[in-house]
């Protein structure tokens, strides 16, 4: 157990629908990063939150949004889903200072049918 | 721009040594990470290099040359359980997101 909790582990939904993925970081970690991993691509950085504020955006589609709440858990919202959004979605958390590597959660496998 | 290249696949036999290379081009560079990822699982941290040279950790070692934009991961005494994808990732600033390569799938056979 890495200490980073992602729910749900699996999600199957239809095109056009909206889903919410949840991530609880390790205790004490202020940063949450979201990544998407599809078969033909590596891990693609989507967005980074630090202590409730958005810090950086990567290749995140406009149909996707995220937020980090006061208790530091984060949610990634995916809307108007397309078949190509099927992927593994990982979140990673890290603390301040020397914790540079980040710790990954076990991921949410999203299948859009 | 940011670009990280590593071979797509490699094969090796049990007990052998394998070197997985990674070249990177990033705007600003802080350090180079290696992760191991088994299919369908989360990446797990293997090593981090910020200075030039070799970092050794048991059967795994990682090397970095900042001037050449080059790193490698060396795996010794290969075991079947080492069959996995190995991800090279660069950070351009401490505390920022990592930029990952597409990963090298290593298959270890007996």
- Per-residue pLDDT tens over the stretch B32-42: 999 999 998 99
B96/A48 touch (CB, cutoff 8 Å), yes or no: yes
Q: What is the pLDDT of residue B78?
A: 98
Q: Kindly state the percentage of chain B with pLDDT values over 70.
A: 97
For B92, nearest residue in chain A (alpha carbons): A100
CA Rg value for chain A: 13
CB contacts, 8 Å: B101 with chain A: 42
Reported confidence tier of residue A7, pLDDT bands at 50, 70, 90:
very high
**Cα(B84)–Cα(B103) distance, integer angstroms:** 10
Phi, psi of A84 (to 5 degrees): -70, -10
More confident residue, A41 or A11: A11
Reported confidence tier of residue A97, pLDDT bands at 50, 70, 90:
low
Q: Which of A35, A88, A100 sits opposite B48 (nearest CB)?
A: A100
State mean pLDDT over A25-47: 91
CA Rg value for chain B: 13
Q: What is the pLDDT of residue A96?
A: 66
Average pLDDT, chain B: 93
Torsion of CA A87, A14, A73, B103, to 10 degrees: 0
Average pLDDT, chain A: 93
Q: How far is the alpha carbon of B86 from chain A, nearest alpha carbon, in Å?
A: 11
Q: For residue A66, give both structure tokens.
A: 């995220």
B87 pLDDT higher than 70: yes
- Pairing verdict, β A87-94 and A103-104: antiparallel
Q: What is the pLDDT of residue A51?
A: 94
Contacts of A19 (CB under 8 A, 6+ apart): A11, A13, A77, A78, A81, A110
Reported confidence tier of residue A5, pLDDT bands at 50, 70, 90:
very high
* Residue B83 and residue B11 in contact, taking contact as beta carbons nearer than 8 Å: no
**How many residue pairs bridge chain A and chain B with CB atoms within 8 Å of each other?**
55
**Cα(B21)–Cα(B15) distance, integer angstroms:** 19
Q: How far is the alpha carbon of A17 from chain B, nearest alpha carbon, in Å?
A: 24
CB contacts, 8 Å: A107 with chain B: 40-42
A18 pLDDT higher than 60: yes
Q: What is the pLDDT of residue B1?
A: 63
Before A8, cis peptide (omega within 30)? yes
Phi, psi of B80 (to 5 degrees): -55, -35
Q: Using alpha carbons, select from A34, A26, A11, A9 the residue that is nearest to residue A91.
A: A34
Phi, psi of A95 (to 5 degrees): -95, -170
State pLDDT tens for residues B42-80.
999 999 999 999 999 999 999 999 999 999 999 999 999
Q: Which of A31, A43, A48 sits opposite B100 (nearest CB)?
A: A43
A98 pLDDT higher than 70: no
**Cα(A37)–Cα(A94) distance, integer angstroms:** 19
Angle at B103 between CA A94 and CA A35, to 5 degrees: 40
* Residue A50 and residue A65 in contact, taking contact as beta carbons nearer than 8 Å: no
Q: What is the pLDDT of residue A102?
A: 82
């Amino acid at each position: 157990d890495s200490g980073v909790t992602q729910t749900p582990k699996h999600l199957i939904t239809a095109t056009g629908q909206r889903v919410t993925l949840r991530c609880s970081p390790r205790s004490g970690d202020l940063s949450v990063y979201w990544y998407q991993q599809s078969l033909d691509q590596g891990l693609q950085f989507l967005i980074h939150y630090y202590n409730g504020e958005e810090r950086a955006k990567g290749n995140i589609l406009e149909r996707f949004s995220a937020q980090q709440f006061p208790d530091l858990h984060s949610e990634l919202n995916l809307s108007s889903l397309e078949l190509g959004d099927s992927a593994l979605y990982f979140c990673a958390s890290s603390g301040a200072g020397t914790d540079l590597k980040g710790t990954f959660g076990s991921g949410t496998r999203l299948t859009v049918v | 721009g940011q670009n990280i290249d590593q071979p797509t696949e490699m094969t090796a036999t049990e007990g052998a040594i394998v070197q997985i290379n990674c070249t990177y081009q990033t705007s600003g560079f802080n350090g180079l990470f290696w992760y191991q990822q088994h299919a369908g699982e989360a990446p797990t941290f293997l090593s981090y290099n910020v200075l030039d040279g070799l970092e050794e950790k048991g059967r795994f070692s990682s090397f970095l040359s900042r001037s050449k934009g080059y790193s490698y991961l060396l795996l010794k005494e290969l075991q079947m359980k080492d069959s996995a994808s190995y991800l090279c990732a660069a950070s351009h600033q401490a505390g920022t997101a990592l930029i990952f390569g597409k990963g090298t799938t290593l298959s270890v056979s007996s």
